[in-house]
Structure 1
């Protein structure tokens, strides 16, 4: 079977891999679509994400959907042929974070397509993948596999919005209109935000934010843009650059909440940290997700406008072209690989 394997920075290969057999407690899934994530692009461009560096070849991908093929010994779940989304995380269930109901920050989790541990956890960009049967989520009525491929990134976005608290009736700022930023817009609107403003220097990216439901679009590189809000109740930083966090801290009201969702580069990042003190701003991190994965499947089933965020579907044999496209923010939002 074909799989998409990263060997190092700039070294992405579509390779013949042995077809897996489901082990005890596992399910075998025929993958139909896999979304190219920002972390996949980081592994491709830089050989790592943050402090997670490649130390061996790794199958990429954690945003995968497909159909159940079979089960290993002792495993049960949706019947073979059922369309499913694959939850990419397997938390340990034993650490203090898991015991505290925060499995998304489990200190010993396994996450598809991640170099956070060694040996690395191989990902889902392959024609078939064997995963724990507990990772399968059958799709609700009305949700097809193509749109369901957004389940993982939408879960990340919804978790960030929930980290902010109650946004209903509030003014929300989102810095960064990449795929995650656009999905934060959709999640905030679904949670009742009265107005969502999105900033980005790329006009085409702002166009996708409008598709997601943004009320105001602002060119981040234009301080004179008339759309800049005087202040907002909640700000979500989704660009992963220090300038975005600085913007959030300068635009948030006193006592407001800023959620850092974008992964800042390793090392020190300059931003207006003094404002956290003088304005008593709450700065919260948001990492991956927990129960949100189950919630977003219903949200995706109910809202067809999410289809507009999928800008291309690329056959696995053309994965290199798919990665090039996904990295070009002027030409794409979410790019899917098809197996």
Structure 2
């Protein structure tokens, strides 16, 4: 490996810049960043284009995310270190790293003071990105090679690590039964893969019967499925067919208009069981008596901790959590930055449970 040296960087780099949510993005040439104290420069190889990206960065931002325009989009990536600062100790130029999206204040670890790459800070849909040192997690590339894991497939980490944080918060254990709703979206589908890797049995609940069938086929005998009916009593009865639930994890998105499935999930949890809320529902009526009489624990989780992220990475590096199309995790398409609008439109239609779309600013 060459020694850390910011002079290795080009004078300019290309980035997909969003001037506002009402103007199509354009690839722009910008002065290359230089690493300052506590930061590192990364060359993103593959960066996830989530299926709701178009409703954040374009179309007038109907989700009303608090974005600081103009901005370079993209929060997650797998990439290589391009330059380091003088205080860097554990990373060198060329190292393979995962770029974490959540930036936390170093002197406010117990305060809700966070920012997000691609939302308030320039993100990873670019040839270079400057991030705090703690937001770069080194990947054991030798372990990937030993286990036949492709670098591109590791980019699925961005979807997998989110439900993992929730499972860890509520103590999901091998042999336990977890109910996941809705299991047919990006994070819900990822949650099924993660729960199986953790040794759990899964009840996957959603509306898309085709995707539910795909999830059931991942591990016959360990995955059961329930189709949302929209009727509380009917859904509780459908879940009950598969026995008591130890953990219920919900990832309902903000556009949901009927949240009876969340109530059904809570009512399906056994005595002293756990409920993990990771979605973005504004208001919810809780079955109060059931929570009290059964001694249920309700835990809200926003993303995950760094410790959990590192442990999740180990599941991937060791091959415990399988990746790639043979494991039901498929890359639908890889786009260049110049195809920004097409990428967002394609992701809105084709991304979802077990399906990913990426930008490849520096594809290897």
Confirm whether residue 328 of structure 1 aligns to residue 349 of structure 2: yes
Q: Equivalents in 2 of 1:327, 1:274: separation in Å?
A: 40
Structural RMSD (CA)? 2.9
Deviation digits for residues 249-287 of structure 1 (CA, Å, limit 9, x no counterpart): 2322233211111222x4x34454553344433221111
Q: Equivalents in 2 of 1:203, 1:8: separation in Å?
A: 37
Deviation digits for residues 117-176 of structure 1 (CA, Å, limit 9, x no counterpart): xxx222111111112233222221214421221223322111111122143322210011
Match in the other structure for 1:103 = none
**3-state SS of 2:30 partner:** coil
Deviation digits for residues 97-122 of structure 1 (CA, Å, limit 9, x no counterpart): x25xxxxxx422232122xxxxx222
Confirm whether residue 282 of structure 1 aligns to residue 297 of structure 2: yes
Q: Aligned to 2:223, which of 212, 215, 222?
A: 215
Confirm whether residue 311 of structure 1 aligns to residue 331 of structure 2: yes
For structure 1, which segment, 300-309 or 230-239, has the greater mean C-alpha deviation from structure 2 after superposition? 300-309
1:63/1:207 Cα in 2 relative to 1: closer, same or farther (>3 Å)? farther
Q: Give 5+ residue unaligned stretches, structure 2.
A: 1-12
Q: Aligned to 1:192, which of 187, 195, 199?
A: 199
1:243/1:329 Cα in 2 relative to 1: closer, same or farther (>3 Å)? farther
Query: Which of these two proteins has the greater Rg computed from alpha carbons?
Result: 2
Q: Give 5+ residue unaligned stretches, structure 1.
A: 100-105, 115-119
Match in the other structure for 1:228 = 239
Q: Aligned to 1:91, which of 95, 104, 125?
A: 104
Match in the other structure for 1:117 = none
Query: Does the aligned pair in 2 maintain the 1:151–1:293 contact within 8 Å?
Result: no
Displacement after TM superposition at 1:227 (Å): 6.1
1:204/1:7 Cα in 2 relative to 1: closer, same or farther (>3 Å)? farther
Q: Aligned to 1:24, which of 27, 31, 36?
A: 36
Confirm whether residue 146 of structure 1 aligns to residue 158 of structure 2: no
Match in the other structure for 1:294 = 310
- TM-score normalised by L of structure 1: 0.83
Query: Does the aligned pair in 2 maintain the 1:28–1:129 contact within 8 Å?
Result: yes
1:74/1:94 Cα in 2 relative to 1: closer, same or farther (>3 Å)? closer
1:243/1:46 Cα in 2 relative to 1: closer, same or farther (>3 Å)? farther
Match in the other structure for 2:9 = none
Q: Equivalents in 2 of 1:330, 1:36: separation in Å?
A: 8
Match in the other structure for 1:255 = 272
- TM-score normalised by L of structure 2: 0.77
For structure 1, which segment, 286-295 or 298-307, has the greater mean C-alpha deviation from structure 2 after superposition? 298-307
Match in the other structure for 2:169 = 163
